[in-house]
Amino acid sequence: MRPLEDVRIIAVEQYGAGPFGTVHLADLGAEVIKIEDPRTGGDVGRYVPPYQQGEDSLFFETFNRNKRSISLDLSTEAGRAVLHDLVRVSDAVYSNLRGDIPERLGIRYEDLREHNPRVVCCSLSGFGMSGPRHAEPAYDYMLQGITGWMSLTGEPDGPPEKTGLSLVDFTGGYVAALATMIGIHAARRDGHGMDCDVSLFDVAMGMLTYPATWHLSAGYKPGRTRQSAHPSLIPFQNFRTADGWIVVACAKEKFWRRLCLVIERPDLADDLRFATFAARRDHSDELLPVLDEVFATDATDRWIDRLGDGGVPCAPVNTVEKAMADPQVAARELVIETAHERFGRVRQLASPVNVGGRPDGHRRAPRRHEDADYVLRVLLGYHDDRVRGLAEAQAFG
């Protein structure tokens, strides 16, 4: 058995952040049933270009493998009745909607506990279900701006920049998945469920970590650094080589001393201006141009070999194509495949949440409403007359 095969989650989710959280739970065996709004054509992720045709997209495949789907209009009485029946046989209702929507849809714990006192209701929203911003929409880009991330990203003399990936969304998904599983554990232990109020704003603020501590405790004002340098440890940054870029990470004093030997500059290690982290930080304007000049004399691969042999932590700045070709990817079985009627073979990355070994196989993402028979007839035991009545009441759109 997979670790979460005894867990069932009703997911009122869309786009990236929410589905990213539950895809890891689905990979671990949880039954994740997506509730898709028929009024809007279901999850908007189905329509994200490029590589999109009809209601299929490679974007949607990435975040929704191993899940089930049913179209359900929760604005109708009939649709809500089906949801309530699903709540009775499920562990959690998981959503990523604006912070005021769970109350409007009736998917908070106080709304659903009469149907299942042990249900866990996890809301992943932009700003949470409380506070002056709770009813505002939010997207990853916006949150990277409002929480200060962009002020830390990019070159000092350039414009503020976002990270290359939607890290607020993805980290928020992880936090929501963790909160859901913690809630399920407590509900099974204590006999009653709860709300999990997860906010992308909270997540992004929390990810400020030690620079925030420095600011709050000592008035530190963080800013952007040249060549993606660490704010205090030197050298710990990108350097341009003769044919690309390399990351050198001297996170310990011993690595600095080793670096001086590899680049054949032992005099730098003996120089009092560069003898400690603090000294190198104070004299970075003198040290870094020297290192820039040294690394520009040879190619990236040669530097990787020399630094690696010398015990200095380093890495190339790869393209995505080169990253996928790293032998560690194959060794860790990080690429998985699913068969798809429209796209043929879909190759994507496995979940890094590797618990109990990699699963033997994966299902493609579901077509919209594909699992209606399973959900309605098998899981809920509805007879044909009941299904027809719900359809006439527009429960399914």
Residue 137 lies in a domain: yes
CATH (domain of 251): 3.30.1540.10
| Statement to judge: residues 145 and 271 lie in one domain | no
Instruction: Give just the sign of the alpha carbon dihedral 311, 313, 319, 324.
Output: positive
Q: Are both 363 and 302 inside the same structural domain?
A: no
Range of the domain at 74: 8-206+353-392
User: Do 262 and 310 lie in a common domain?
Assistant: yes
- Residue 316, classified by CB atoms within 10 Å of its CB into exposed (0-12), middle (13-18) or buried (19+), is middle
Residue 152 lies in a domain: yes
CATH number at residue 37: 3.40.50.10540
Residues with a catalytic annotation lie at: 169
The pLDDT profile of the chain, 397 residues, written as one tens digit per residue, is 899 999 999 999 999 999 999 999 999 999 999 999 999 999 999 999 999 999 999 999 999 999 999 999 999 999 999 999 999 999 999 999 999 999 999 999 999 999 999 999 999 999 999 999 999 999 999 999 999 999 999 999 999 999 999 999 999 999 999 999 999 999 999 999 999 999 999 999 999 999 999 999 999 999 999 999 999 999 999 999 999 999 999 999 999 999 999 999 999 999 999 999 999 999 999 999 999 999 999 999 999 999 999 999 999 999 999 999 999 999 999 999 999 999 999 999 999 999 988 888 899 999 999 999 999 999 999 999 999 999 999 999 9
Is residue 177 situated within a structural domain? yes
Q: Is residue 201 part of a domain?
A: yes
Do 202 and 263 lie in one domain? The reply is: no
Tokens for 171, please give them. 């980290």
Q: Are residues 22 and 149 in the same domain?
A: yes
Residue 323 in any domain: the answer is: no
Among candidate residues 293, 317, 341, the one where a domain is terminated: 317
Residues 61, 201: one domain? yes
Give the closest residue to 124 by CA, choosing from 199, 59, 13. 199
Contacts of 394 (CB under 8 A, 6+ apart): 73, 76, 78, 79
292, 317, 342 - which closes a domain:
317
Q: Both 173 and 256 in a single domain?
A: no
Task: Count Cβ atoms within 10 A of the Cβ of residue 391 and give its class: 0-12 exposed, 13-18 middle, 19 or more buried.
Answer: middle
Residue 378 domain flag: yes
Task: Flag whether 214 is in a domain.
Answer: no
> Strand 120-125 and strand 194-199: pairing?
parallel
Do both 256 and 197 map to the same domain?
no
Question: Could you tell me if 92 and 55 lie in one domain?
Answer: yes
- Of 256, 290, 317, the position where a domain reaches its end is 317
- Per-residue burial over 181-191, b = 16 or more CB atoms within 10 Å of its CB, e = otherwise: bebbeebeeee
Give CA–CA dist 126/189, Å, rounded. 30
Q: What is the pLDDT of residue 358?
A: 87
* Pair 25, 147 in one domain: yes
Question: Is residue 305 domain-shared with residue 266, that is, in the same domain?
Answer: yes
Q: How many domains does the chain have?
A: 2
In a domain, 211, yes or no: no
- Output the 3-class SS for the chain: CCCCCCCEEEEECCCCHHHHHHHHHHHCCCEEEEEECHHHCCCHHHHCCCCEECCEEHHHHHHHCCCEEEECCCCCHHHHHHHHHHHHCCCEEEECCCCCHHHHHCCCHHHHCCCCCCCEEEEEECCCCCCCCCCCCCCHHHHHHHCCCHHHCCCCCCCCCCCCCCHHHHHHHHHHHHHHHHHHHHHHHHCCCEEEEEEHHHHHHHCCHHHHHHHHHHCCCCCCCHHHCCCCCCCEEEEECCCCEEEEECCCHHHHHHHHHHCCCHHHHHCHHHCCHHHHHHCHHHHHHHHHHHHCCCCHHHHHHHHHHCCCCEEECCCHHHHHCCHHHHHCCCEEEEEECCCEEEEEECCCCCCCCCCCCCCCCCCCCCCHHHHHHHHCCCCHHHHHHHHHCCCCC
Distance CA 203, CA 132 (A): 17
Residues 230 and 194 in one domain: no
